[in-house]
Amino acid sequence: MQPIFDILFNQDATEPLDKVTIHTLRHTFESQLAIKKLMNHNDINATMRYAKLSKCSGEVHVNKLIQNLMNI
């Protein structure tokens, strides 16, 4: 997966912390599920309307990955 992330996200990343890794996506997924549970939502979409994660959470990268996968 990392070579795919490098092509999709890391071409302009110069700092290690700016690079998207599997851990970045895992962290975003786990954060969204934790917030969903804390807010007692039945649907993750309801959670995403109210909970804004920090930019470093990888949410933008997750959305880009999903868009790219849907275009395959």
pLDDT at 70: 78
Q: Mapping DSSP to helix (H, G, I), strand (E, B) and coil, where does residue 70 land?
A: helix
For residues 56 and 18, what is the distance between their CA atoms, to the nearest angstrom? 8
47-64 average pLDDT score: 67
What is the chain's Cα-based Rg?
13
Q: Mapping DSSP to helix (H, G, I), strand (E, B) and coil, where does residue 10 land?
A: coil
* pLDDT band at 29; cut points 50, 70, 90: confident
21-32 average pLDDT score: 81
- Nearby residues of 23 by Cβ (< 8 Å), 6 or more positions away: none
Kindly tell me if the per-residue pLDDT of 7 is higher than 80. Answer: yes
CA 38 to chain centre: 19
Q: Which amino acid is at 30?
A: E
What are the tokens at 53?
A: 């994660």
Per domain, the residue ranges of the chain are: 2-70
Average pLDDT of the chain to the nearest whole number: 77
